[in-house]
Amino acid sequence: MIIKCPEIKGLEFSERSKKAILKIKEIKEVGELLAYSVAAGQVATIFVGNNAAVSSINVASTDFIQFSSAMNGVSLIVREKIHTRAVLTWSKVSDSKEKQFWKAIAKGCKVQ
Amino acid sequence: MKKVTFGLLATLAATQIFASSTYEELFKSRKIDKSELIKLDTAKLDKVQRQVFEDLLKSVSMLGYKKSECDSSRVIKAEQLHGLGISNEHYNTVLIYFYGLNRKRCEESEYNKFAKLIAVNLASQKDSEVLEFITNLNRVGSAVYYDYAEAEVDFKQLPKSVQDRTSEVSFLKEDFNLFESLQNAE
């Protein structure tokens, strides 16, 4: 079930929340960079390789599956990190609006 | 070597941040500059480098799936916490610490394999872009262990009696849903 991120008026972030946001952004960006980088690498392997088209694609297919599976793993790991950091931050802030924000992040809310 | 630059936020001003713009900052995928991409060409690796790299990729996949398996729906109830005979101001620290311990135990085999393969690859790979990729994999794969370490630091600052008493309790040593349990603790 997709939960919509709630609008929270009058929210002001504490230093703790600001640091948590930075950490989450950083890990998310590293995850995205890994995913894009792998994709670029695989495209290069298919089209730049010296072998005959069929064998190149066969090798690349195996690589694709491996990389694709690894990137699924990365996304699960990133999701866990974001959830954990959100829960920890929720537990440590006292402002009710901040708590509401972090609860939404921990629940995996989506902007719609 | 292509430099990977991260578009980290500038220091957030003390002025009010509207939640919707922050959600967008957290969730939107930033535009990746082609010059930033780490272009892996595994065809350049020798047989051994390729094997250890493939083993690492498999371990990332296994670690991710194991983490999902370690998720638990079990919730620790308020009555169970009251029964600990400790101050309620310690509940959060205790729950977070044991949650971390349980998670580490649950994924121990997969994480250890991942960590060893990170080390082996860092020692074996020569290509700078492969090394950069591995470094980023490690940043992602090991990031949550900072949170577990933080939880341990907080726990060890609790009175010794609290540490000892909670360490003997079985319901804390089985996987549980942290967020729902923390809500019960409030």
User: What CA–CA distances, in Å, run from B175 to A89, B73, B96?
Assistant: 20, 9, 12
Gap between the Cα atoms of B84 and A53, Å rounded: 67
Q: Which residues of B touch A80 (CB under 8 A)?
A: 67, 144
Interface contact flag, A77 B147, Cβ < 8 Å: no
Given CA atoms B171, B177, B179, B183 in this order, what sign does their dihedral have?
negative
Q: Which residues of A touch B40 (CB under 8 A)?
A: 37-38, 40-42
| B contact test, residue of A14, A83, A84 with most B CBs within 10 A | A84
Q: Across-strand partners of A4?
A: A110
| A contact test, residue of B6, B27, B81, B182 with most A CBs within 10 A | B27
Q: Which residues of chain A have pLDDT under 70?
A: 1-2, 38-62, 111-112
Q: Which residues of A touch B37 (CB under 8 A)?
A: 33, 36-37, 40
Q: Tell whether A15 is within 8 A of chain B (Cβ).
A: no
- The confidence score (pLDDT) of residue A109 equals 85
> How many domains are contained in chain B?
1
Q: Tell whether A26 is within 8 A of chain B (Cβ).
A: yes
Helix (H) or strand (E) holding B149: helix B144-155
pLDDT in single tens digits along all 186 residues of chain B: 333 333 333 333 333 334 456 676 666 666 666 566 666 777 788 999 999 999 999 999 999 999 999 999 999 999 999 999 999 999 999 999 999 999 999 999 999 999 999 999 999 998 888 898 999 999 999 999 999 999 999 999 999 999 999 999 999 999 999 999 999 988
**Domain parsing of chain A, residue ranges:** 16-110
Q: Tell whether A46 is within 8 A of chain B (Cβ).
A: no
- The confidence score (pLDDT) of residue A102 equals 94
- The confidence score (pLDDT) of residue A55 equals 36
Contact between B96 and B178 (Cβ < 8 Å) = yes
ipTM for the complex shown: 0.81
Given CA atoms B145, A111, B11, B18 in this order, what sign does their dihedral have?
negative
- The confidence score (pLDDT) of residue B185 equals 87
- The confidence score (pLDDT) of residue A51 equals 43
Q: How many residues does chain B have?
A: 186
- The confidence score (pLDDT) of residue A52 equals 40
Range of the domain at B51: 2-185
